[in-house]
Chain A
């Protein structure tokens, strides 16, 4: 039961929230359900920590890897929920802004992601990931402006086509399993596939075909270049808390799926094929996004390309494999979700004060919005991978594993791309923060940040700092648990 409750609560919550017409009541109910969900996730994580693997029925299973990603999901969801309570005030009246629908869709989105993490077999995993696309497409188009509708449509079409390829990949895995002698109804179950993987070397070509389709499919959801085109539009047009959720958790969820499939292929036919593929996609994303960040004009698009860059780094980490590579990749996914959430929170008040997110029209933010600028600076330093924050540690780990396996060219490419991305971020943030704010300083009537917003932002900041200075022993054991599952 510890798995079913955290799964079903968001589904029920979604329909429950729909029932409350009055916005204040809807927000309160949503908060209640949110807290309950976080507690359930915490309890499930606690039991999982002690039990190692939890299996309920044929379709729900949770192991070390799920534990790590559930913690990531729970933490980010709690922070985003806390922030969104205050955020809905920012939405100008004209927009489609009923909190009821907002929270319903958010809980639906949460339900699909928890389903993805807890699903035992690859088919269920695929269905859950497809469902995340559907749930988040409406959220992307929430504002119903021209840009939001266009972004939503592109997001829906491109991701659905991508997921269709992933379906073909899953089917090919199923075929390879069946050919490898696994009984038909268990042929999609991840655990059985892992144990049977060494036996499947006969279907080498089919497994390579399966991984190619899965990589392109789930790669679209992760936003790896050249399948990334939907990501900047979707993250730029979605409301701030939603782009935070998309950037921080949805990309990790797709990466989780790819991790599962990469584990099977590398066990069956050895890692070099799948890892070369991941390295090439990761390197391409890292380089292309670093260059694209230089010429961005909109703040949220800049942050979206930065997400592509960091997902490229995570893909590099997974592609390099080994104790250091995987440790760096997982830690980097976690750190990136925290830092990106922090940055997306600032876009809300920036849009409200300056009326736009076009960076060449934002001047003197340091004086107009001192607290938001502080958050922007902390987030910017973290995303640029500078020392006091966690991303420096994980990038260092990935670089160490790259050099240990003497991938010199790849490592130097990564260092160059990180420097270019740092230059782009520095150039844009400096232009926004310095100088005199245009027009009348609207600081007088700016609504004071709510306690929730301050709490959300400080949780992210403190976690980033802790992970930068000292990765707690508990967290390291969770990471090693997750790596053990994949090894």
Chain B
């Protein structure tokens, strides 16, 4: 079992821990730019994981998927988000409805909840319960971010974290879907982020703020 296999196995094992750390950090982050960077880090870890899995399973397709993750999620989307944030020139704080400390506690609680929820399934389907737990934690944290953060951009990031969770779940359970489907999903994701960017600019133009919780005109 050569050095490379050892490295791949180790990255798989340790990536779960890195992901948990990024989850907690994103919950604690107060500025949008740190959130974007943490999201990029998260995707980087996932890329590493895909590469390791590709190597372990000797499947060329997975490598292509890894490349795409690297391209789309680690480079393209964070870059786009950062450009949007800079051109928005609105106050950078994320004005969340929960303080940083409370967010961290909630994120931790969500991680524990994820573990609890996943156990029966992991046993039933002989899956790697840790990775599945991470995926569920990502989904729950993404949901929590979208519900608690008031800034439009933060909601986009929350959505992307949620998307990451689902992608990770797919990765761990099925070792990657057919290539065409994966590419389709990434393309959709990219278009979605671009469109959200367009809307964020439109909100700033028409409302002079990007605070989503003040969008209350349409009621009843």
A: residues with CB less than 8 A from B are 59, 121, 123-124, 126-127, 130-131, 134, 137-138, 141, 144-147, 149-154, 156-157, 160-161, 164, 167-168, 171, 174-175, 178-179, 184-185, 188, 203, 205-206, 209, 232-233, 236-237, 295-297, 301
Take A134-B188, A153-B203, A174-B174 as given contacts and tell me if A167 and B217 are in contact as well, using a CB distance cutoff of 8 Å: no
A131 to B181, CA, bound (A): 13
Take A156-B195, A295-B220 as given contacts and tell me if A123 and B177 are in contact as well, using a CB distance cutoff of 8 Å: yes
Pick from B146, B166, B174, B202: contact of A149, CB under 8 Å:
B202
Chain B residue total in the interface (Cβ 8 A): 39
Q: Is B178's beta carbon under 8 Å from chain A?
A: yes
Closest to A232 in B: B218
| CB-based contact B220/A301 at 8 Å | yes
Q: Mark B190-214, 1 if CB is under 8 A from A, else 0.
A: 0110011011001100110000100
Pick from B174, B180, B191, B212: contact of A171, CB under 8 Å:
B174
A297 to B177, CA, bound (A): 47
Of B3-11, B64-72, B155-163, the segment with at least 4 beta carbons within 8 Å of chain A is B155-163
A167 to B186, CA, bound (A): 12
| CB-based contact A150/B218 at 8 Å | yes
| CB-based contact B206/A171 at 8 Å | no
Q: Is B169's beta carbon under 8 Å from chain A?
A: yes
A-B pairs with the 3 shortest C-beta distances?
A: A123-B181, A127-B184, A233-B218
| CB-based contact A134/B174 at 8 Å | no
Which B residues, 162 to 186, have Cβ-Cβ distances below 8 Å to chain A? Answer: 162-163, 166, 169-170, 173-174, 177-178, 180-181, 184-185
Chain B hits for A179, CB < 8 A: 125
Chain A hits for B121, CB < 8 A: 205-206, 209
Q: Is B40's beta carbon under 8 Å from chain A?
A: no
Other contacts beyond A146-B207, A153-B203, A168-B139: 8, CB < 8 A: A124-B180, A134-B191, A152-B202, A157-B155, A161-B146, A161-B159, A161-B162, A168-B166
A233 to B216, CA, bound (A): 11
A123 to B191, CA, bound (A): 17
Chain B hits for A178, CB < 8 A: 174
| CB-based contact A164/B177 at 8 Å | no
Take A156-B195, A161-B159, A167-B185 as given contacts and tell me if A144 and B202 are in contact as well, using a CB distance cutoff of 8 Å: yes
A255 to B185, CA, bound (A): 21
| CB-based contact B199/A147 at 8 Å | no
Interface centre among A150, A161, A232 (most CB of B within 10 A): A150
A126 to B202, CA, bound (A): 28
